[in-house]
């Protein structure tokens, strides 16, 4: 169920208020263009600056607008275990298909702390949980052994791996087997990630290139078809400048600027994030043109 091009949805704002109509239209845009799943309230959705009501609202809108057509993986992680449980229970009751739970940031828990955090959430819900392992943002790296231990629990189903270490794909596949869902959290390495045993990407770039990202994923997951792998490499080359330009400055400021150029969303972000510089704008524009999106 959880594979292919899954978009880490941006959260559109209008005068610093959640733009619910634009958010709904974004979701329909993704369904139309072949996106395989949506993640509301993730990092790209500016979850750190959404208040609790907004956090819950974007999940509710995603569930309503997808209407069962594609899965909703709700971002419900927190560095407070009780808060993560509350958000997770709400997401399940709302109708989300799975949860994306980031490793607790700032607290710097031990491996045992990580295990107990996820176990506590696991014990309170009844839908799949995807571990979000992103050391550059959370400052902790969940070990493969801890992940394997968690995989023994009823709801722990896979990982969004944003370590950028492709050897982790091999290690995780060897330790947990093919039933453990491995999703890339890095657009730029998604091709090699899939070729090594991954099954998709939770993508930032898919916000502005949903059809290309969907076509790329479909082709790259056809591991035994040399023609499709060649097609995946061709699309990957076309998208690579865009992947890079969207991370020149802190995500999601560049992708929101790109989305504004395509009339998908405003470029508004919430402090402490700010709009991108003129220099970055030029790089994003250039990359969109290379991808034939502008």
C-alpha 54/C-alpha 150 separation (Å) is 30
- Residue 257 bears catalytic tag: no
125 class by beta-carbon count within 10 Å (0-12 exposed, 13-18 middle, 19+ buried): buried
Question: Given this model, what pLDDT does residue 125 score?
Answer: 98
Across residues 274-290, what is the average pLDDT? 98
- Residue 160 bears catalytic tag: yes
> Which among 56, 57, 160, 281 is annotated as catalytic?
160
**Which of these CATH numbers, 3.10.20.600, 3.40.47.10, 3.30.70.250, 3.20.20.70, describes 4-225?**
3.20.20.70
Kindly report, residue by residue over 94-153, the tens digit of the pLDDT: 999 999 999 999 999 999 999 999 999 999 999 999 999 999 999 999 999 999 999 999
Q: How confident is residue 223, by pLDDT bands cut at 50, 70 and 90?
A: confident
Residues in the chain: 294
Kindly report, residue by residue over 45-73, the tens digit of the pLDDT: 999 999 999 999 999 999 999 999 999 99
Q: How confident is residue 219, by pLDDT bands cut at 50, 70 and 90?
A: very high
The pLDDT mean for the chain works out to 97
Question: Given this model, what pLDDT does residue 224 score?
Answer: 81
Q: What is the DSSP string of 115-136?
A: HHHHHHHHTT--S-EEEEE-HH
In percent, how much of the chain has pLDDT > 90? Answer: 98
Q: Determine the angle formed by the axes of helices 210-220 and 226-245, rounding to 10 degrees.
A: 140
> Which among 132, 256, 257, 281 is annotated as catalytic?
132
C-alpha 13/C-alpha 23 separation (Å) is 9
Domain ranges of the chain: 4-225
């Amino acid at each position: 169920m959880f594979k292919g091009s899954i978009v880490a949805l941006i959260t559109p704002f209008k005068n610093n208020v959640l733009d619910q109509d634009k958010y709904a239209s974004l979701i329909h845009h993704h369904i139309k263009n072949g996106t395989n799943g949506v993640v509301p309230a993730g990092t790209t959705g500016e979850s750190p600056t959404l208040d609790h009501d907004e956090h819950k609202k974007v999940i509710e809108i995603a569930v309503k607008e997808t209407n069962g057509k594609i899965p909703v993986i709700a971002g419900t992680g927190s560095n407070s275990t009780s808060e993560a449980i509350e958000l997770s229970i709400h997401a399940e009751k709302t109708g989300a298909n799975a949860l994306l739970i980031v490793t607790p940031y700032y607290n710097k828990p031990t491996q045992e702390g990580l295990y107990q955090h996820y176990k506590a959430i696991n014990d309170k819900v009844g839908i799949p949980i995807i571990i979000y392992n992103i050391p550059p943002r959370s400052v902790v790296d969940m070990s493969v052994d801890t992940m394997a231990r968690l995989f023994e629990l009823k709801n722990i189903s896979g990982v969004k791996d944003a370590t950028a270490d492709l050897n982790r794909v091999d290690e995780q596949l060897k330790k947990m087997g093919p039933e453990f869902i491995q999703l890339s959290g890095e657009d730029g390495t998604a091709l090699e990630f899939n070729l090594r045993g991954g099954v998709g990407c939770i993508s930032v770039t898919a916000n502005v290139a949903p059809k290309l990202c969907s076509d790329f994923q479909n082709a790259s997951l056809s591991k035994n078809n040399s023609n499709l792998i060649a097609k995946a490499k061709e699309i990957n080359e076309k998208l690579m400048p865009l992947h890079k330009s969207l991370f020149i400055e802190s995500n999601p400021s560049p992708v929101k600027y790109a989305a504004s150029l395509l009339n998908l969303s405003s470029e508004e972000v919430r402090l402490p994030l700010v709009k991108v510089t003129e220099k970055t704008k030029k790089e994003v524009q250039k990359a969109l043109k290379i991808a034939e999106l502008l």
